[in-house]
Amino acid sequence: MFYKFMIVPVIALATFTVNAADAVPVSVQRLGDLLVDREVRAPASVVSANRAIVTAEVSALIKEISADVGAAVQKGDLLIRLDDDNARLALAQARATLAALDAQIVQAKQRLRKAQELLEKSFVSDDELTARETDLAVLEANRNAQVVAIQQTQLSLARTRISAPYDATVVERQAQVGSFAMPGSPLITLVQTDRREIDAEIDPQFAGGLATASDLHFVSQGRSLPVALARLSDVIETSTRKLRGRFVFSDDAAQVGASGELVWLEAQGLVPVTLIVQRGTEFGIFIANDARAYFVAIPGAQEGRPAALDLPPDTLVVSRGHIRLQDGDALMILDQ
């Protein structure tokens, strides 16, 4: 790529004499020292990692509701208590059945031992011994089944107390005290508060540099909170033509539902807005070469936005005094 300053004859530059009275006082700096990162913004909002409609798992009357709409609950807090009378009676009956089976097993073992002793004396047949062994095996199998039945009954009893699965806020209550709950009946709706994420729509052109971006923040209502990338979808959504990204707060977190912007710096090495001026229909910068100012147009540059420029980092750029310069003006460099 060639710019205006590159086609000026070398001999003319070497022999040109600058009149100090006509020279414009300016300051210059290396281009590499002036480049800035590009700030990128994307619309974003804070969402909960989980939103759950808590349902009943057993059939029972609703006896108590401990958390209403707007209440903040912690993991393990009681939300709803169902009537547990039937479950307690079923558990007592199951335990009684187990005790009866244990007594029968003790008796069956005694009968089996006696049959084994009598068999040695030929007082009972092999068939009688086999029958008593079978009786004992059946009772032990029934006992194992009853143990499982007790565990199921205990589980049903535990399910009459419905607790918060995580720290959350109650956002809706469907249950009413005195109503009969069936398995699957919606009772209460929770929004998790101890795991908040930022949902953002990312322009695909910025997705590649997001993993290495610096100064990643969520900005909302005057607050700027540091965040980190959690995951980034590789599917462009047809409705928005954007990628869906999820981010997590590094420290403090905004409220669920807060909207704002995701802001980060992308290392692009851009010419800052303060150095870009317009001459004619073009935007560009002034560089210094042999005490002369040369306007270098930046293709695609837009007013009020930093722009990329393909020049060596050692190129001397006019950093002060460039606003009034014209192409070819003589320069008085104040510092370098």
Q: The CATH number of the domain where 24 resides is what?
A: 2.40.420
What number is the average pLDDT over the span 78-89?
96
Structural domain contains residue 256: yes
CB 291 within 8 A of CB 275: no
DSSP 50-85: -EEEEE-SS-EEEEEE---TT-EE-TT-EEEEE--H
If asked whether residues 253 and 225 sit together in one domain, one would say yes
pLDDT tens-digit map of 169-227 = 999 999 999 999 999 999 999 999 989 999 999 999 888 878 778 789 999 999 999 99
The predicted model gives 226-250 an average pLDDT of: 93
Pairwise CA distance, residues 76 & 252, whole Å: 24
* pLDDT band per the 50, 70, 90 thresholds, residue 9: very low
Q: If you average pLDDT over residues 313-320, what whole number do you get?
A: 92
- 68 shares its domain with 93: no
- Give the range among 20-24, 58-62, 64-68, 320-324 with minimum mean pLDDT: 20-24
| Domain-ending residue, one of 192, 216, 251 | 192
| Residue 2, pLDDT score | 38
**Residue 174 falls inside a structural domain:** yes
Domain boundary among 243, 268, 293: 268
CATH of the domain at 168: 2.40.50.100
Classify residue 281: in a domain, yes or no.
Answer: yes
- Percent residues over pLDDT 70 in the chain: 90
The answer to the question of residue 155 being in a domain is no
Please give the tally of structural domains in the chain. 4
Mean pLDDT (the chain) is 88
What is the tens place of the pLDDT at every residue in 30-72?
A: 998 888 887 889 999 999 989 999 999 999 999 999 999 999 9
| Predicted TM-score (pTM) above 0.75 | no
CA distance 208 to 22: 49
**Do residues 140 and 235 share a domain?**
no
> Are 264 and 292 part of one and the same domain?
no
Measured on CA atoms in the order 154, 156, 159, 161, is the torsion positive or negative?
A: negative
Flag the least confident range among 42-51, 248-257, 327-336. Answer: 327-336
239 in the same domain as 143: no
The answer on 206 and 143 residing in a single domain is no
Bridging pattern class, strands 78-82 and 161-163: antiparallel
Q: Tell me if 231 is assigned to some domain.
A: yes
Are residues 185 and 77 both part of a single domain?
yes
- Indicate if 281 and 325 belong to the same structural domain: yes
* Range(s) of the domain holding residue 282: 4-35+271-335
pLDDT value at position 19? Answer: 59
pLDDT band at residue 120 under the 50/70/90 scheme: low
Spatial separation of the C-alpha atoms in residues 43 and 329, rounded to whole Å: 45
